[in-house]
Structure 1
Amino acid sequence: MIHTALTRLHRRAWTLGAIALATLGAMPALAAPPEAIRIGVASAGGGEPVTWGGSPGGVIRVNQWLEEEFKGSGTKIEWLFFKGAGPAVNEALSNKQIDFAYQGDLPQIVGRSNGLQTKLLVASGVRNNLYVVVPPASDVKSVKELKDRKVSIFRGTNGHLVAINVLAAHGMTERDIKGVNLDAGSAQAALVSNGVDAAFGGYEWFKVRDQGLAKIIYSTQGQDPALTRQASLLVRTEFEKAHSAEVQRVVDVFVRGARWSSDEKNREALFDIWARSGTPVTSWAAEFDKQSLAERNSPLIDDFVISRYKAVVSDALKLKLIRNEVAIDGWFDTSYLQKALKKQGLETYWTAYDAKGRPKDPQTVAANGR
């Protein structure tokens, strides 16, 4: 009897052990921490160390908050800046040369349409303005007068579609102008030397204007929010699946940066940090004139941000900038953002906006999660 009972116990123990081993064998192996986290930025940047402005990411870069977060973990933080902006960042993503990317909506969508497997994690610089500039002595005074003129547009960037929409709002198409594809630096050189008659661009033109080398004849500032550009942080899906804990830590830091960058008490300090990229404080003051920091630096993936991405998909299809429909639903992964907001007590800090850019009812936000 005793021998039989012991035999049964041994068999039961062996069976449980076999089940445990089988279960462990079925579980995916935990990936070792990455040797480096590589972040690509769709800007040539400037300064030492190289940084950029207009996004809470620039604050994180200058203050080395990510380096601080991963100190002692064995994981290095590497920042890579791309003069070729969004299209160059897409190439780096395709070649797995970077893990995270900060870039604008259109290049992100172009990348997705071409098969790049990514997840959009957090907004990081929304409602960016667009301007039309001309040489100081130019007789061009309005968008309509750009017809048949040589105009610089940085194609494939998040300003490209907004420029097209600005033209459309004035009864024109891109075919009505003689478009020249130039990056920001080349466009400035071309305009100053009268190589082009006008240029579409962003805050970088204030510096040129203040030097007396250009004048702004049109601005989207204060107009329909649909005429603004959005940027966000994304991650390669393969990296996210292997290193979800590290992704959470990166998002935590970006939310921390967004909180600091949204505090009006930090307005001057924020512009000082961004000025290290080579764009003067006066330019940032002009870009953010009569606009709240919280509205521009919010990390929220709200209905406005999602609607703008959907509109970019629609416009890009119509203009044949992409060949295939791009699904927006399911692309944004807000789980990391929600955890970061909860952890930092910021669940109600920022205002969420509806699809048209109007503040949403807080009760609706609480019920829907955005």
Structure 2
Amino acid sequence: MKKMKSILAIMLVSIILLAGCGTGSESSSGSSSAGGNTKPAGSSVSDTSQKGEVHTLKYGFVDQGSGVATGLVGIAKDQGYFEEELAKVNAKIEIIPFTGAGPAINAALASKSLDAGAIGDVPALVAKASGIDTVMVAGGLADAPTYVVAQPGKGYKSLKDLKGKKVATQIGAYMQRVLYLMLENNGLKIDDIQFVNMTAKDAVNALAAKTVDAIVVSAAQSQTLASKGLGELLDSTEGHREWLNSTATVFNASYTKENPEVVKAFIKGLLRAREYAQKNPGDLRALQIKAGTPENVIDLVYPDLKNYSTLVEADKDVIGNLKSVAQFLKDNKLADSVVDIDAWYNPSFYNDALKESDSK
């Protein structure tokens, strides 16, 4: 545990130091914009509109290597909803993929090279607890489970068999919490395994290369490995609703104060995407295929084509889950304080966008 906390502390210090640098983006650039000159992240609409320039909202998402935005963000991008809504407030959006997942997005938010992003509950709350001043404006609760996937043919029957073995997932990502909970459920602690810090993409490659014994990854990645004979599903969050992870759409707090109309326009784009997805779920499926998820895995993980069309509003279940995660991080010494979720989440942007939108 001491080793884990020291690694996490180093990561947090790195994030804070990046805030004084001007860059922190570990990403491949994949932009979706509506024309005009790109301004640095953090600039305001008033600054650009006075000069007749178009303001750019820089938004980051967790990328598994394809550079394709899925879910409602992908729909809003492809259907032109972001372009249309943001144009009304003299703005556009640049959508940037981050293979470094939530921790990399946190670093970019801290350095102000990014204005907003969608990340898992653990990185979002670790960042907030460490002093990165963000505001949550939207969120959702994951329905698809998270799995521990082990090397095939090794005779592993449960997590107990992984004692002393190499288990990989990413520090500061939601999978870290899932691993802690699963280990505890099997009478183990994090110090009982050899923890290996890797991004999900690197962990998948490491399992295939047999350099680690098990990994903790998403349902789609797990089922893909299993379907190819590269891994065996050892344990999951199924049957443990309290273990599910939330996603949070966060903005730099200063950005929401300087550009409230842009934030609201962004959410209007998501609302239109939600309405479209409900009528055209096949387009959600097509985005997953474009992102590299095998069709048989999509049908297995997302049978109703709704699981990855997360709601824009953070309802009571999402808020309750986030409060549980915040307390977990403090109890396990992964955060120095418990984030006040009610103060962190600002529902006014969603509520105002809903009132002004044709999408209900």
The normalised TM-score by structure 2 is 0.79
Correspondence 1:323 to 2:336: yes
Conservation of the 8 A alpha-carbon contact between 1:191 and 1:198: yes
What does 1:1-370 correspond to in 2, within 5 Å?
32-33=48-49, 35-46=55-66, 50-53=67-70, 55-71=71-87, 74-124=90-140, 126-202=142-218, 203-221=220-238, 223-261=239-277, 263=278, 266-289=280-303, 293=306, 297-344=310-357
- 2-structure distance, mates of 1:244, 1:341: 14
What is the rounded CA distance, in whole Å, between the counterparts of 1:195 and 1:82 in structure 2?
Answer: 24
Tell me how far apart the structure 1 counterparts of residues 283 and 91 of structure 2 sit (CA, whole Å). 29
2:129–2:338 Cα contact (<8 Å) kept:
yes
Shift of 1:344: 4.1
Deviation at 1:128, TM superposition (A): 4.1
Structure 2 stretches of 5 or more lacking a match? 1-44
- The Cα of 1:281 is off from its aligned counterpart by 2.9
Larger Rg: 1
Q: Residues 128 and 230 of structure 1 are in contact (CA less than 8 Å); yes or no, is this contact kept in structure 2?
A: no
**Distance in 2 separating the partners of 1:193 and 1:175:** 24
3-state SS of paired residue (1:38): strand
Measure, in 2, the Cα distance between the counterparts of 1:285 and 1:304: 26
Q: CA deviation at 1:198?
A: 1.0
Describe the shift of the 1:225–1:125 C-alpha distance in structure 2 as closer, same or farther (beyond 3 A): closer
How far residue 123 of structure 1 moved from its aligned partner, in angstroms, is 1.3
Aligned to 1:329, the other structure's residue is in SS state: helix
TM-aligned CA deviation for residue 58 of structure 1 = 2.5
Distance change (3 Å), C-alpha of 1:282 and 1:339: farther
State the Cα distance separating 1:116 from its structure 2 match: 1.4
Contact 2:85 2:268 in 1 (8 A): no
Query: Identity percentage over the alignment?
Result: 26
Cα deviation code 1:243-278 (max 9, x no counterpart): 1111110011112223333x2x53333111122112
Tell me which amino acid in the other structure corresponds to 1:216.
Answer: L
Gaps of 5+ in 1: 1-28, 348-370
The offset of 1:346, in angstroms, is: 6.0
CA contact (8 A) 2:69 2:291 kept: yes
2:292 counterpart letter in structure 1: G
Of residues 230-239 and 60-69 in structure 1, the stretch that sits farther from structure 2 once superposed is 60-69
Residues matched between the structures, number: 311
For each residue in 1:60-113, what CA deviation from the matched residue of structure 2 results, as whole angstroms up to 9, or x when unmatched?
A: 233342123334865332111211111111111111111111111111111111
Q: TM-score, normalised by structure 1?
A: 0.77
* Alpha carbons 1:31, 1:242 under 8 Å: kept: no
**Corresponding residue for residue 8 of structure 2:** none
1:294, CA displacement in angstroms? Answer: 6.8
The question of whether the paired residues in 2 share the 8 Å contact of 1:187 and 1:199 is answered with: yes
Q: Which amino acid aligns with 2:321?
A: R
The separation in 1 between residues aligned to 2:288 and 2:76, in whole angstroms, is 11
CA contact (8 A) 2:116 2:249 kept: yes
Change (3 A) 1:116 1:128: farther
Say if 1:61 and 1:274 are closer, same or farther in 2 by CA, change over 3 A. farther
61 and 142 in structure 1: CA distance in 2 versus 1, 3 angstrom threshold: farther
8 Å contact from structure 1 (residues 129, 228) kept in 2: yes
Distance change (3 Å), C-alpha of 1:166 and 1:244 = same
C-alpha distance in structure 1 between counterparts of 2:89 and 2:111, whole Å: 26
Give yes or no for contact 2:160–2:188 (8 Å, CA) kept in 1: yes
